[in-house]
């Protein structure tokens, strides 16, 4: 591992300034992804700015409703928060579907959103990878790509984003609060992560040096009827083969509102707007849920080893929406 300088700033402004002191500086929060990447030589920061002692560890109810979650709130604490469990079950379930209990005790809200892809070639410094080293190629495009994207990939990168939390937050229309060298600003969750295009080395739209300080979750009464369903190769401690976050609001059996987002299908958490449009205003049936999923997945371009993801995501869409509709009956 490369030697690095370690800083523990007193406030957010000092953290942002300190990050600018390194050529490859990185923020350290839970470290559950960064430290692994440092051991593998995938990330080689010369400066680490430890944000764990910053006052970003609170969950606060907002006057207009909703929650403001500090960036260093641990995933396990957020999943257990009584308001999250009551008002946003999709969020609690997504958090509990991720990683192991030990990792959730360390992983933070901000860090979870910024974790890197688990594409095996990204983690192997001996393999071509445009995300790790721009211009070297993409070993996964014609290599082992079972776990990778079916939507919105480019010839430069077919990776998926691994976060479960991000998928739930996209469905909930959350907003990310950020501080950078130009001061504070906000980014809607649905715009935070990028499509790979010609620059897969950039996972998000955040300018270099930006620090996520909080995530705001708006009030959404319908979210009390929400869920997250994740399919993976083993029952615990695995990344998704496919996942769906869903909010369903029915009025006498007719879909008044619906929010859907998919995980493990693209370079970013995938808001399923076409599927939502198919569902809204129509009497809910499992068949309609299938039609909606088909509309969303019509643009899927499976790779050599992952065509199974199309029927998989369709099936979990139907299942999670049907379960929510039955619970409402």
For 38, list phi and psi in degrees, rounded to 5.
-70, -40
CA–CA dist 217, 206 (Å, integer): 19
Q: Which stretch binds ligand SF4 (CB under 6 A): 153-161, 211-219, 287-295, 315-323?
A: 153-161
108 vs 117, which CB is nearer to ligand SF4?
A: 117
266 binds ligand SF4 (CB under 6 A): no
If we measure between CA atoms, which residue out of 62, 58, 79 comes closest to residue 228? 79
- 131-to-153, 166, 200, 249 alpha-carbon distances in Å: 13, 20, 5, 39
130 binds ligand SF4 (CB under 6 A): yes
- 119-to-72, 129, 210 alpha-carbon distances in Å: 26, 10, 24
139 binds ligand SF4 (CB under 6 A): yes
Q: How many residues bind ligand SF4 (CB under 6 A)?
A: 15
Q: Which of residues 161-200 bind ligand SF4 (CB under 6 A)?
A: 200
34 binds ligand SF4 (CB under 6 A): no
Nearest approach, Cβ of residue 139 and ligand SF4 (Å): 5
Residue 202, both tokens: 């950039």
158 vs 293, which CB is nearer to ligand SF4?
A: 158
270 binds ligand SF4 (CB under 6 A): no
48 vs 158, which CB is nearer to ligand SF4?
A: 158
Nearest approach, Cβ of residue 234 and ligand SF4 (Å): 22
Q: Which of residues 199-228 bind ligand SF4 (CB under 6 A)?
A: 200
Longest dimension (CA), the chain: 63
Nearest approach, Cβ of residue 115 and ligand SF4 (Å): 13
Work out the end-to-end distance of the chain between its first and last CA atoms, rounded to an integer number of angstroms: 57
Q: Which stretch binds ligand SF4 (CB under 6 A): 115-123, 239-247, 282-290, 292-300?
A: 115-123
DSSP reduced 3-state for 222: helix
CA dihedral 286, 316, 173, 209 (to 10 degrees): -170
Angle (CA) 325-326-329 rounded to 5° is 90
158 binds ligand SF4 (CB under 6 A): yes
DSSP reduced 3-state for 177: strand
138 binds ligand SF4 (CB under 6 A): yes
**40-44: Cβ within 8 A, 24+ apart:** 40/123, 40/124, 40/125, 41/1, 41/2, 41/125, 42/116, 42/122, 42/123, 42/125, 42/132, 44/2
Looking at 27, 88, 122, 270, which residue binds ligand SF4 (CB under 6 A)?
A: 122
Q: Which stretch binds ligand SF4 (CB under 6 A): 50-58, 86-94, 156-164, 184-192?
A: 156-164
131 binds ligand SF4 (CB under 6 A): yes
CA–CA dist 177, 186 (Å, integer): 5
92 binds ligand SF4 (CB under 6 A): no
Nearest approach, Cβ of residue 323 and ligand SF4 (Å): 33
Q: Which residues are 37's β-sheet partners?
A: none
Nearest approach, Cβ of residue 44 and ligand SF4 (Å): 17
Binding site for ligand SF4 (CB under 6 A): 117, 119, 121-122, 129-131, 138-140, 148, 157-159, 200
């Amino acid at each position: 591992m490369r030697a690095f300088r370690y800083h523990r700033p007193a406030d957010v402004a000092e953290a942002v300034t300190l990050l600018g002191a390194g050529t490859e500086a990185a923020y350290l929060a839970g470290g559950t992804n960064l430290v692994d990447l440092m051991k593998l030589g995938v990330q080689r920061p010369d400066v680490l700015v430890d944000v764990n002692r910053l006052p970003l560890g609170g969950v606060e109810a907002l006057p207009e409703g909703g929650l403001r979650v500090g960036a260093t709130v641990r995933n396990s604490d957020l999943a257990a928060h009584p308001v999250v469990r009551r008002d946003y079950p999709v969020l609690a379930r997504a958090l509990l579907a991720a990683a192991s209990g030990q990792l959730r005790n360390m992983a933070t809200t901000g860090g979870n959103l910024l974790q890197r892809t688990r594409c095996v070639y990204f983690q192997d410094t001996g393999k071509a990878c445009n995300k790790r080293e721009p211009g070297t190629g993409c070993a996964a495009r014609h290599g082992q790509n079972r776990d990778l994207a079916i939507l919105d990939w480019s010839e430069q990168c077919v990776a998926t984003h691994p976060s479960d939390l991000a998928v739930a937050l996209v469905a909930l229309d959350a907003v990310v609060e950020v501080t950078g060298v130009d001061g504070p600003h906000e980014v809607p969750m649905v715009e935070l992560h990028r499509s790979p295009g010609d620059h897969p080395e950039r996972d998000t739209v955040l300018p270099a040096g930006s620090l996520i300080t909080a995530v705001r979750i708006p009030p959404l009464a319908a979210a009390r009827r929400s869920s997250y369903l994740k399919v993976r190769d083993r029952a615990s401690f695995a990344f998704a083969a496919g996942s769906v976050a869903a909010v369903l609001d029915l009025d006498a059996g007719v879909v008044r509102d619906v929010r859907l987002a998919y995980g493990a299908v693209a370079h970013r958490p995938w808001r399923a707007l076409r599927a939502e449009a198919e569902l809204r205003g129509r009497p809910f049936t499992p068949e309609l849920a299938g039609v909606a999923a088909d509309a969303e997945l019509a643009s899927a371009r499976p790779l050599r080893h992952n065509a199974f993801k199309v029927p998989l995501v369709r099936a979990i869409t139907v299942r999670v929406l049907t379960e929510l509709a039955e619970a409402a009956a």
